Chain A
C-alpha cells in the first residue's frame, strides 16, 4: 500500500463514532487546558490520561493527541486577550498579541492566530504523513546501539535545554530513572528494589507519577498563588474579521513559522516553545515592518502561533516512527500505548497500522474541529477563565484521584499520586524541572533493556554501541549538540540573556 492508501485507511479507522467523539472531546479538553493559565499541556494531558483508558487503544491515543495539539490553539487566546500565556509556547504571542488587543484589534489577532494555527498544523500533518513512514521503515534496521543512543539523546538534550543549572534537570532525571527500576526486572524476572513493599512488584506507575508531578503540583501552585482572576474583555464573532492588509502580511510569517516549527518539533527538547522564540526573532529580522514589533505587529502573532502548532504536530514523528518521545506529553502517549498493550517503536506502523494511521488521520480532522471550535466559541472559552478557583481545583483533584485509582484499581497508585504531587511541588519551587523526571521514568526501562541486550549480543564489548554507522552519527550529534548548547549558554550568560533568545539568533 502506498502512503495515500494508508492515509485513506487511517481515515477509515478514525471515521467511526467512537474515534470521532474521542477527537472532538480531546480538542475541547485541549483547548480548555490551553485557555486556563497555570494548567499546562502536560498537566492537562496527565490529569485526563487515565480517563482515556476506558476507551480502546485507537480512540484513547487519538484523544491524547487531540489534547496535545488542542492546547496549542487554546494557549493563544489568553495571550492575546489578557497578556497571560496559557502555556509556555504562547509566551511570544503575548508580545504583539496583547498590544493588538489594546488597540481594539483583538478579534483580528485571534483570527490570524487561529487560521495560522490551522494552516501550520495541516501542512505539518501532510509532512508527517510523508516523512513518518520512511523514517519508520529506516528505523526497522535499528538495534540496541541506535535505540540506546536515541534514548540517551532524548534525556540529555531535555536536561540541558530546559534551562537553569545542570542539576535542575539532572537530579529529576535521575529520580525518574531510579523509579523506573523498581519492581520486577523485565529481562530476568527478578524482583528488585521493593524496599519491603510487596505491592511495588508491579513497579511504579508512570501515569500516577505524571499526574502527580504535573497535575497535582500545578494545582498546588495555583492554590499558593493568591493572585486575582483576570477581567476579560468580550470579543464578538463579527469583530473577528481581519483587514485584507492583515491577511496579506500574514502569509509569509505563517509559511516561515510553519517550517521553523516543523524542524524544531523533530528535535529533542521543548520544540513548540523553542520554535516560537526562533520564529518571532526570524520575523523581526526579515519583516518590512520591524518598527512595529512589540507594538502590535500582526507578523508577531502569525509566526509564533504557526510555529508552535507545526512543532506540536511534527513532534509526533519521533514518537510514531521511532517510539522515542522527546517531550513529556509525548512520553505520556508512550505510557498510554504501553498500558493499552501497544509496543511503541518502528514496528508500530506494521503491527498496529490502525493506531499509526488512525492518529495521523485524526490530526487532519482535529485541526478542522479546532478551527470550528475556536472561532465561534471564543466567548465561551473566555468565560472559562471566570470559573472560581476553588471549583476548578476541586474538579481537577477529584478527577485526578478517580482517574489514577482506575488505572489498576490500586490504592498504591493513589498514594504515589499524592506523594509525587508533593515532591513535584517542592522540587518545582526550588527550580527543578519535572519534564526530565517523567521522561526518565519512561525512557529508563528502555535504556536499560537496550544496554543489557547490547552487552549480551556483543559479549560485553562496549565499542559495539558506537561502531554501527547510525549509532556513531547519533552519538556524534549528541556531542555536537552539547558543545553547541554549552557555547550558547556561555554567550547567553555573558550577554545577560536567556538561552532561548540566543538560540533564536
Chain B
C-alpha cells in the first residue's frame, strides 16, 4: 500500500494521488458515456409515444442522452483540471476488495447453507480482512456474531432468513 505514512515524500504522494484520481474519474466518465449509449439504444426499442402521450421509452432516452453528456463533461473535467481534485483518498489497499470477496462468500452461502453458516463465514472472513490476525479470535468473532444475530433477528424480531438444519437446532 502506498499510504501517506509509508511514503517519504508527501508532495510526491499527493501528486501521485491527484493523477490517480483524475485517471479514475476519466475511466468512470468513459463508463458513464458508454452506459448512456446503452440506455439510448435500449430505450429506442421501447415505445416513446409523442409529447402529448409520452411512452415508457421517452424518459430513459432523455436520461441516456444526459448520461452521455455527463460522461463527456466528466472526461473533459478529468483531463483539463487534474489539480482541482482533492479527495480524502483511501489509498490503493487491497483489503477493501478482500472484504468484498468475504462478503460475497457469505452471501453465496446464505441461500444454500442457511443464515447461521452464512453469518459465521461472513463474520469470520470480514473480521480477518479487517485486521483480526489471530485465527481463533476471528473464528470466535464470526461464531458470536452468527449466534447472537440469529437469535436477535430470527427469534426476537421474526425476520425471515433462510434456515438450514443447523439454524433449526439453535
Contacts and interface: CB of A to CB of B under 8 A. Distances in A.
B11 interface: no
A398 to B, nearest CB: 5
Interface of B: 3, 21, 24-25, 28-29, 32, 35, 39, 42-43, 46-47, 50-60, 63-64, 66-67, 70-71, 73-74, 77, 81, 84-87, 89-91, 93, 95-96, 99-100, 102-104, 106-107, 110-111, 115, 118-119, 122-123, 126-132, 138, 141-142, 145-146, 149, 153, 157-162
**Chain A to chain B: the 4 pairs with minimum beta-carbon distance, closest first:** A460-B51, A460-B52, A224-B90, A390-B132
Contacts of B129: 223
A172 to B, nearest CB: 10
A432 interface: yes
A473 interface: no
A163 to B, nearest CB: 10
Contacts of A411: 107, 110-111
A216 B160 CA distance: 22
Contact of B67 (A54, A174, A455): A174
Contacts of A342: none
Contacts of A422: 100
Contacts of A225: 90
Contact of B89 (A195, A222, A403, A429): A429
A190 B49 CA distance: 13
A170 interface: yes
Nearest to B27: A430
Given A170-B73, A171-B74, A414 B107 contact: yes
B110 A167 contact: no
Contacts of A20: none
B25 A178 contact: no
A391 B132 CA distance: 8
Interface string A303-316: 00000000000000
A448 interface: yes
Contact of A401 (B50, B58, B66, B103): B103
Contact of A430 (B21, B71, B127): B21
Given A171-B71, A452-B59, A224 B93 contact: yes
A430 B32 contact: no
B96 A166 contact: no
A383 interface: no
B29 A167 contact: yes
Given A165-B77, A401-B106, A429-B89, 14 more contacts: A164-B85, A167-B70, A167-B74, A167-B77, A192-B42, A195-B42, A390-B130, A398-B126, A402-B149, A418-B103, A427-B28, A429-B90, A455-B53, A455-B54
Interface residues of A, number: 67
Contacts of A432: 25, 28
A199 interface: no
Main DSSP-derived SS at the B contact region: helix
B60 A192 contact: yes
Contact of B131 (A181, A216, A390, A409): A390
B95 A223 contact: yes
Nearest to B115: A402
Given A167-B73, A411-B110, A190 B66 contact: no
B25 A430 contact: yes
A431 B87 contact: yes
Contacts of A456: 52-54
A192 B59 CA distance: 11
Nearest to B3: A226
A185 B130 contact: no
18 contacts: A51-B159, A167-B77, A171-B71, A174-B67, A174-B70, A192-B46, A192-B56, A226-B131, A390-B132, A391-B132, A393-B127, A394-B123, A395-B123, A397-B123, A411-B110, A421-B103, A452-B58, A462-B51
Contact of B91 (A51, A222, A224): A224
Interface string A351-390: 0000000000000000000000000000000000000111
B57 A460 contact: no
Given A402-B149, A411-B107, A429-B90, A193 B60 contact: yes
A399 interface: yes
B25 A431 contact: yes
Nearest to B76: A167
A125 interface: no
B93 to A, nearest CB: 5
A201 interface: no
A125 B154 CA distance: 36
A398 B149 contact: yes
Nearest to B73: A167
A1 interface: no
A200 to B, nearest CB: 12
A223 B25 contact: no
A492 interface: no
User: Most chain-A Cβ atoms within 10 A of its Cβ — which of B56, B66, B115, B157?
Assistant: B56
